[in-house]
A and B are shown apart, each in its own frame.
Chain A
Amino acid sequence: MGPGGTVRIEVERAILQSADEAAAAIRALLSERKIFALNLISSPGSGKTTLIEALLARFDGKGGVAVVEGDIETEIDAERIRKHGVQVRQINTHTSCHIQPSRLLSVLREMDLSETRLLLVENVGNLVCPAEVPLGEDARVVLLSVTEGDEKPLKYPLVFKTSDLLVITKTDLLPYVTFDVDRVRRAARAANPAVEIFEVSATTGAGMSDLLDRIEALRAAKK
Chain B
Amino acid sequence: MHELGVAGEILDVVLSEADRHAAKKVTSIRLRVGVLRSIEPENLSFLFEHLARGTAAEGAFLEIVEEPVRIECEGCGVSEARAFKCECPRCHGPNVSVTGGDSLRILTLDIED
Contacts and interface: CB of A to CB of B under 8 A. Distances in A.
Interface of A: 4-19, 95-98, 128-129, 132, 153-154, 156-158, 161, 186-187, 189-193
B12 interface: yes
B108 A153 contact: no
B13 A13 contact: yes
A128 B112 contact: no
Interface in B1-27: 1-2, 4-6, 9-10, 12-13, 17, 21, 23, 27
B106 A193 contact: no
B42 to A, nearest CB: 17
A190 B112 contact: no
Contacts of A193: 97
Given A15-B104, A161-B36, A187 B12 contact: no
A104 to B, nearest CB: 15
Given A6-B27, A9-B111, A15-B13, 18 more contacts: A5-B113, A6-B111, A8-B111, A10-B107, A11-B13, A11-B17, A14-B105, A18-B9, A18-B12, A96-B5, A132-B6, A132-B104, A153-B86, A157-B36, A158-B37, A190-B85, A191-B84, A192-B97
A11 B97 contact: no
Nearest to A96: B5
A11 B109 contact: yes
A48 to B, nearest CB: 19
A157 to B, nearest CB: 4
B43 interface: no
A5 B27 CA distance: 11
Given A132-B2, A161-B36, A13 B105 contact: yes
B13 A190 contact: no
A158 B6 CA distance: 15
Q: Which 9 A-B pairs have the closest CB atoms?
A: A190-B86, A157-B84, A129-B2, A187-B86, A11-B106, A158-B36, A15-B104, A15-B9, A193-B97
Given A18-B9, A190-B86, A7 B113 contact: yes
Interface string B87-98: 100000010111
A190 B98 contact: yes
Nearest to A11: B106
B24 to A, nearest CB: 9
Contacts of B107: 10-12
Nearest to B105: A14
Contact of A8 (B12, B104, B108): B108
Contacts of A18: 9, 12
